[in-house]
């Protein structure tokens, strides 16, 4: 349980770093709401914000000149939220986006919903019309706290300068604690302009109803251990919560000690090393066939910081029918939401595992592990990597080569949404947490480029690759200008198949190949890059992939590579919507085809 | 019963949660309490035990929610109030008055054609009165929705209220799901 007295302290781990020079001895001084805003952001550890100015947020922008905070000018407010999101995912810190009222604020909605579904801590600051004008349909007035109510963890409307400090402190605390999420703070123009006494210490968060720190009962630990020790065929389902909770070490210790194989969710990739012998690979709709079979045959599922999304369970009616379920999860509302569990352990994953670890017995499960090996069957034969080079360039080749070339470095891959995202998940073997940044829950096309900018700003020393489809790229490609203006060395790999590939794939399987509105007419990406002063290459053969990747890495600046890949390639395996997890559409096996010939 | 911080927009947050998660509200009342910083809602929902637990967990995720008590199976005082305008012409008038008195309801308005009856009680009692009045012709009816309070001298609610808004999160109210 939360000790309420701890709440303010817990809220301020990064505070006190920057002391205002002009602070009086009493600890308070008169400031405008706008100045208080930047002062509080600095004290919360913010170094950079992503934003776009406008009328209602102008007082805040005017006060920015006195702040040490770096402002990245975006080209669309959606980009600002994705950048804050990418920043948060890459660094583990809170990302900040700023926009004006009305259209500026509503443009943030997609980015906020993206962060909400993936539990990403961001704080969005929006300007609002003067408090006296609220409700009058004033110019650029939108009820953005109303609009974002269901897609924020919490939000605030601030109408007085005196409320700014406490609200910002609470916003950061709520965003980063417990199950993280986006918080929006809407500040009226008069609240920015007004003045009041600023006293950081007095502006402690007051959140009497907020309890992010739950922990399981001793009885529940006992029940969990009993299930673990009596199970013959257990599997760990490793989710994003491992990364959020920084429980990589503990999960590894647990898996190794108990001899339990680990299946990954999309957002879990990197939380457990891909090369680890116990790592099975990704589960779910486009997961490896043997992983899904393993889950279906298991007698115990250990869900670590994952939420049984429909993309990983398939049809719930016959999901893991013989398995007991242990669910370690920080959000009590996730328990029994999709899958009924036998033992819920509600709490911070790392703390729960630390509690369990001393009691976990080492058990020989070689029989189970061997049988999983057998489940792999002909998967390798079906793998496109092992098919003879037909002269065609497949996305899987691009991803595989990219992985080979960049695997040893400090690389962050940021993907968009669609076929290329699934191929990335399948063929790029992530060893480290936060080395894959992708929109999982909301599946937001247009996420990759701005999120990569945020990631690069957070981790300037990292090698950042954008892997993006030709469709999604065009949704937010205006941010190329941001990238250039900020002088960021980011590599962009467009997986260009001339289709909205994933939608086309569904049309192929389930809509009788009626490719309605999925073929794309694309611009000349080389000329587009050129217009921004970005160097580019076009690649259409397999042998040209590695040289292009290397050229990008050597180049002293951003590079855009247009990979022209097979147009009608398909992501295999696939669990059709509504099908059982083991009921997969597989890539046709060449052996079977040859036999038929 | 849901104890919430008395702040603007909290009712919207609670109502929005039920809509967003597709739980149907039968009735929702909200009002002040003995502490000015705390409001109290009584929400009636048709849900099984699992759903009720999830609703509780979701409510706790709202930052402004202080305490949730599921009193479905608790000894509690539950009251609904109804105003019923019933057709009561010369012949029927005495019958209606008689029925009202059987139910300990009060007549609060009289007109040549109708009587307006105020009744307070559990939902069943009000349903009962409505049933027997229906043949006379119910012209207009409004109900407040229920308010409830646990019986006995102590409740978790008191713990929240006593410790004031600074420390509502006491150990007693930890819930296991």
CATH code for the domain of A114: 3.40.50.970
Q: Give residue for tokens 């609009």.
A: A147
My answer on whether B92 and B137 are in the same domain is yes
Tell me the nearest-neighbour CA distance from A124 into chain B, angstroms: 17
Would you say the C-alpha torsion A228, A234, A236, A237 has a positive or negative sign? negative
3-state secondary structure chain B: CEEEECCCCHHHHHHHHHHHCCCCEEEEEEEECCCCCEEEEEEEECCCHHHHHHHHHHHHHCCCEEEECCCCCCCEEEEEEEEEEEECCHHHHHHHHHHHHHCCCEEEEECCCEEEEEEEECHHHHHHHHHHHHHHCEEEEEECCCEEEECCCCCHHHHHHHCHHHCCCCHHHCCCC
First to last CA, chain B: 18
Q: How distant is the Cα of B33 from the closest Cα of chain A, in angstroms? A: 17
Residues of A in contact with B58 (CB under 8 A): 333
Q: Is A385 a known active-site residue?
A: no
Helix axes B10-20, B49-61, angle to 10 degrees: 140
Query: In whole angstroms, what separates CA A134 from the centre of its chain?
Result: 35
Interface of B with A in 17-46 (CB under 8 A): 20
Tell me what ipTM this predicted complex has.
0.86
Q: What are phi and psi of B62, to 5 degrees?
A: -75, 125
**Domain end call among A203, A233, A248:** A203
Judging contacts by C-beta atoms under 8 Å, the chain B residues touching residue A154 are 62-63
Same domain, A103 and A66: yes
- Distance, in angstroms, between A298 CA and closest chain B CA? 24
Judge: A337–B54 Cβ closer than 8 Å, yes or no. yes
Q: Which of A39, A42, A77, A479 is catalytic?
A: A77
pLDDT tens for chain A, 597 residues long, are: 334 334 443 444 444 444 444 455 556 789 999 999 999 999 999 999 999 999 999 999 999 999 999 999 999 999 999 999 999 999 999 999 999 999 999 999 999 999 999 999 999 999 999 999 999 999 999 999 999 999 999 999 999 999 999 999 999 999 999 999 999 999 999 999 999 999 999 999 999 999 998 999 999 999 999 999 999 999 999 999 999 999 999 999 999 999 999 999 999 999 999 999 999 999 999 999 999 999 999 999 999 999 999 999 999 999 999 999 999 999 999 999 999 999 999 999 999 999 999 999 999 999 999 999 999 888 887 888 887 777 889 999 999 999 999 999 999 999 999 999 999 999 999 999 999 999 999 999 999 999 999 999 999 999 999 999 999 999 999 999 999 999 999 999 999 999 999 999 999 999 999 999 999 999 999 999 999 999 999 999 999 999 999 999 999 999 999 999 999 999 999 999 899 999 999 988 775 544 433
Q: By C-alpha distance, which of A116, A125, A153 is closest to A49?
A: A125
> What CATH number should be reported for the domain holding residue B66?
3.30.70.260
* Closest Cα in chain B to A154: B63
In order of A332, A362, B29, the CA distances from B41 in angstroms are 22, 51, 5
- Written as one string, the DSSP assignment of A114-165 is HHHHTT--EEEEEEE--GGGTTS--TT---HHHHTGGGSSEEEEE-SGGGHH
Residue B176 to residue A208, Cβ atoms within 8 A: no
* Coil/strand/helix, residue B137: coil
Q: Domain count of chain B?
A: 2
Report phi then psi at A161, rounded to 5. Answer: -55, -35
Contact between A209 and B64 using a beta-carbon 8 Å cutoff: yes
In terms of domains, do A427 and A574 share one? yes
| Catalytic choice (A23, A29, A93, A140) | A140
Q: Could you tell me if residue B171 is inside a domain?
A: no
Q: Where are the beta strands (DSSP E) in B128-176?
A: 138-143, 147-150
Task: Determine the structural domain holding residue B117 and report its residue range.
Answer: 76-143
| Residue from A502, A559, A574, A584 carrying the catalytic annotation | A502
Q: Are residues A110 and A256 in the same domain?
A: no
Query: Is B38 a member of any domain?
Result: yes
Q: Are residues A106 and A180 in the same domain?
A: yes
Residue B166 lies in a domain: no
Q: For residues A172 and A163, what is the distance between their CA atoms, to the nearest angstrom?
A: 14
Regarding whether A311 and A229 lie in a shared domain, the answer is: yes
Specify whether A194 is located in the same domain as A227. no
Contacts of A207 in chain B (CB under 8 A): 63
CA angle A364/A369/A370 to nearest 5° reads 110
Are both A362 and A422 inside the same structural domain? Answer: no
Asked whether residue B106 is assigned to any structural domain, the reply reads yes
Encoded tokens for B152: 């006995």
Does A559 participate in catalysis according to the annotation?
Answer: no
N- to C-terminal Cα separation, chain A: 67
Residues of B in contact with A157 (CB under 8 A): 8-9
Q: Which residues of B touch A148 (CB under 8 A)?
A: none
Domain interval for residue A521: 388-578
Q: Which of A3, A12, A458 is nearest to A202 (CA)?
A: A12
CATH number, domain containing residue B122: 3.30.70.1150
Rounded CA gap, A552 and A563, in Å? 13
């Amino acid at each position: 349980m939360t000790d309420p007295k701890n709440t303010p302290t817990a809220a301020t781990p990064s505070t006190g770093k920057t002391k205002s020079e002009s602070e009086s001895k009493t600890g308070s001084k008169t400031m405008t709401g706008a100045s208080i805003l930047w002062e509080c952001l600095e004290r919360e550890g913010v170094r950079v914000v992503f934003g776009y100015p406008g009328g209602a947020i102008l007082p805040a922008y005017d006060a920015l000149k006195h702040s040490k905070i770096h402002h990245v000018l975006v080209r669309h407010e959606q980009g600002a939220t994705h950048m804050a999101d990418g920043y948060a995912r890459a660094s583990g810190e809170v990302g900040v986006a700023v926009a004006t009222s009305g259209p500026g604020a509503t443009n943030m909605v997609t980015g906020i919903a993206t962060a909400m579904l993936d539990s990403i801590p961001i704080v969005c600051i929006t300007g609002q019309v003067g408090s006296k004008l609220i409700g009058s349909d004033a110019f650029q007035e939108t009820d953005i706290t109303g609009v974002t109510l269901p897609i924020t963890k919490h939000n605030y409307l601030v109408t007085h300068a005196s409320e700014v400090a406490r609200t910002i402190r609470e916003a950061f605390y709520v965003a980063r604690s417990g199950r993280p999420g986006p918080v929006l703070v809407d500040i009226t123009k008069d609240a920015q302009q007004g003045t009041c006494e600023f006293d950081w210490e007095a502006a402690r968060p007051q959140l009497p109803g907020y309890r992010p720190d739950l922990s399981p009962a001793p009885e529940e630990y006992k029940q969990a251990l009993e299930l673990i020790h009596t199970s013959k065929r257990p599997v760990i389902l490793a989710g994003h919560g491992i990364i959020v909770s920084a429980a990589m070490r503990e999960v590894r210790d647990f898996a190794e000690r108990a001899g339990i194989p680990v299946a990954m969710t999309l957002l879990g990739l990197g939380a457990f090393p891909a090369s680890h012998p116990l790592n099975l690979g990704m589960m779910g709709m486009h997961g490896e066939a043997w992983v899904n079979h393993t889950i279906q045959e298991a007698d115990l599922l250990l869900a670590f910081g994952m939420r049984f999304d429909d993309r990983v369970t398939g049809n719930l009616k016959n999901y893991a029918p013989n398995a007991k379920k242990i669910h370690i999860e920080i959000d009590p509302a996730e328990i029994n939401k999709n899958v009924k569990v036998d033992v819920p352990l509600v709490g911070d994953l790392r703390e729960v595992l630390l509690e369990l670890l001393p009691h976990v017995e080492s058990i020989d499960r070689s029989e189970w592990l061997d049988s999983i090996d057998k489940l792999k069957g002909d998967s390798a034969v079906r793998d496109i990597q092992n098919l003879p080079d037909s002269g065609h360039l497949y996305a899987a080749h691009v991803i595989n080569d990219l992985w080979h070339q960049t695997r040893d470095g400090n690389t962050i891959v940021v993907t968009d949404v669609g076929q290329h995202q699934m191929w990335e998940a399948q063929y790029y073997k992530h060893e480290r947490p936060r080395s894959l940044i992708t929109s999982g829950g909301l599946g937001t096309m247009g996420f990759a480029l701005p999120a990569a900018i945020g990631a690069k700003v957070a981790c300037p020393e990292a090698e950042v690759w954008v892997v993006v489809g030709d469709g999604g790229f065009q949704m937010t490609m205006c941010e190329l200008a941001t990238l250039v203006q900020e002088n960021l060395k980011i590599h962009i790999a467009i997986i260009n198949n001339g289709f909205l590939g994933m939608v086309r794939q569904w049309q192929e399987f389930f809509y009788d190949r009626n490719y309605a509105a999925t073929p794309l007419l694309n611009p000349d990406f080389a000329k587009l890059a050129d217009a921004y002063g970005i160097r580019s290459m076009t690649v259409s053969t397999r042998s040209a992939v590695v040289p292009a990747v290397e050229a990008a890495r050597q180049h002293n600046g951003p590079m855009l590579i247009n990979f022209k890949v097979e147009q009608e390639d398909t992501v295999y395996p696939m669990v059709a919507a509504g099908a059982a997890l083991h009921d997969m559409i597989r890539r046709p096996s060449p052996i079977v085809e040859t036999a038929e010939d | 019963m849901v104890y919430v911080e008395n702040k603007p927009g909290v009712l919207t947050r609670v109502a929005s949660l039920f809509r967003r998660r597709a739980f149907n509200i039968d009735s929702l009342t909200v009002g002040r309490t003995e502490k000015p910083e705390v409001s109290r809602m009584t929400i009636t929902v048709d849900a099984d035990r699992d759903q009720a637990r999830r609703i509780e967990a979701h409510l706790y995720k709202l930052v402004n929610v202080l305490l949730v008590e599921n009193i479905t199976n608790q000894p509690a005082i539950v009251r609904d109030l109804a105003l019923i305008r019933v057709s009561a012409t010369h012949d029927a008038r005495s019958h209606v008055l008689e029925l009202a008195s059987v139910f300990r309801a009060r007549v609060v308005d009289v007109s040549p054609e109708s009587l307006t009856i105020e009744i307070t009680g559990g939902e069943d009692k009000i349903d009962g009165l409505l049933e027997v009045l229906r043949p006379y012709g119910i012209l207009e009816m409004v109900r407040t929705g229920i308010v409830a309070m646990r019986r006995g001298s102590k409740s978790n609610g008191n713990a929240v209220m006593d410790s004031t808004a600074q420390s509502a999160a006491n150990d007693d109210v930890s819930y296991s799901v």
